[in-house]
Amino acid sequence: MIGPDHPGDQIIIKKALLQNFMSHYKAVCSRSHGGRPVVRAWRLLAVAAFKSPGKARARRARGLVLRRVLLTALAGVLFLWALPQHAKAYDIGYTVPYTITGTLPHDPGAFTQGLVLKDGVFYESTGLYGQSSLRKVDPATGKTLARASLDPSLFGEGLAWWKGQLYQLTWKSGIVLLHDAKTLAQTGTLPLESDGWGATATPAGIVTSDGSDTLSWRDPLTFRPLRTVRVTDQGLPVRLLNALAWGDGVLFANVWHQDRIAVISPLSGQVIGWIDGSKLRALAGSPPGESDLNGLAWDPVKKRLYVTGKLWPKIFELSLERFSKS
């Protein structure tokens, strides 16, 4: 089950703490001293030694040096604390075997762009200009329990749930729509400096994709990027990353126009496994046209990955064989 006790999530939380510390450290170091902490501080100490009034200024400079050296040492300790579990947590292998443990109905008219499973219901973002929507769906029946239509000028994209709010990306409009998860009523917007593709919530914030090989961790309050990571497979960039899901300490991301899902280390960005979704498309009846595999949701209780696509009539429940080596 996902949470602070899971080793993968512990790594993300540690990484977030380290990043927050380093942000504070840089702010302290750059405050009125040009951002070059120890070198600048030693320079101040040297100047103070040869200028009047002398002793008081030298004491202040020595205190500044000591503070920054201690901060640097603490940063190193935090880094070493966060690092050792990384190899253990992500020793997964390359091919991820799975079993289809269930099939759920899905609206074949839904141009799915984002999927979230929360409190026993699916939340779904659909796209296309003039047809984009946000929906609350009963998994067992596929019935739409509630629906909010987007302005015709907006193209709905990825979706993430965070503390009772739904964050719905838009493709080219430069905004994120905020919705109340209970009513689906829009409660506000936040700026988005890139194209909106996929989104998911992690213990360290919301992660988004923009169709490139880069994933961005964002502050849910401002949606400003806090950290980025480039996704690679055996050293080569993996571009066109689209729908996202977070589960069991890793990120899942489908590749646009390809029936495969990357399993990604959130720290290094390395692909540590691939899920082949080609047989899912076949079981969905091979929908024609723009019908990419493009909806991912994780169930932390059952430990199942739900997969669907644009205009697919089914959602597949997958039991991943714990990312065992092939």
Q: Are residues 84 and 114 in the same domain?
A: no
Q: Are residues 270 and 125 in the same domain?
A: yes
- Domain stops at, among 38, 66, 89: 89
Q: Are residues 61 and 123 in the same domain?
A: no
Q: Are residues 164 and 302 in the same domain?
A: yes
Q: Is 66 left (phi over 0), alpha (psi -120 to 50) or beta?
A: alpha
Q: Are residues 305 and 170 in the same domain?
A: yes
Q: Are residues 56 and 125 in the same domain?
A: no
Question: Domain for residue 2, yes or no?
Answer: no
- Report the number of distinct structural domains present in the chain: 2
What's residue 321's pLDDT? 84
Question: Domain for residue 326, yes or no?
Answer: no
Return per-residue pLDDT of the chain as tens, 326 residues. Answer: 333 344 444 444 455 445 544 444 444 444 444 444 433 443 443 344 334 445 555 566 566 556 655 654 454 444 334 433 333 344 455 889 999 999 999 999 999 999 999 999 999 999 999 999 999 999 999 999 999 999 999 999 999 999 999 999 999 999 999 999 999 999 999 999 999 999 999 999 999 999 999 999 999 999 999 999 999 999 999 999 999 999 989 999 999 999 999 999 999 999 999 999 999 999 998 887 788 899 999 999 999 999 999 999 999 999 998 644 43
> CB under 8 Å to 12, separation ≥6 — which residues?
202, 203, 204, 249, 266, 267
Q: Are residues 145 and 285 in the same domain?
A: yes
Residue indicated by tokens 């779904």:
124
Q: Are residues 233 and 161 in the same domain?
A: yes
What's residue 287's pLDDT? 81
Q: Are residues 119 and 203 in the same domain?
A: yes
Give how far Cα 4 sits from Cα of 7, 149, 202, Å: 8, 36, 11
Q: Are residues 27 and 135 in the same domain?
A: no
How far is C-alpha 82 from the geometric centre of its chain's CA atoms? 19
> CB under 8 Å to 151, separation ≥6 — which residues?
none
Q: Are residues 211 and 272 in the same domain?
A: yes
Separation of alpha carbons 265 and 268, rounded Å: 6
pTM (2 d.p.): 0.72
- Domain stops at, among 33, 59, 89: 89
Q: Are residues 257 and 308 in the same domain?
A: yes
Question: Domain for residue 1, yes or no?
Answer: no
Question: Domain for residue 267, yes or no?
Answer: yes
- Domain stops at, among 58, 89, 120: 89
Question: Domain for residue 284, yes or no?
Answer: yes
What range defines the domain where residue 164 resides? 98-320
What's residue 325's pLDDT? 41
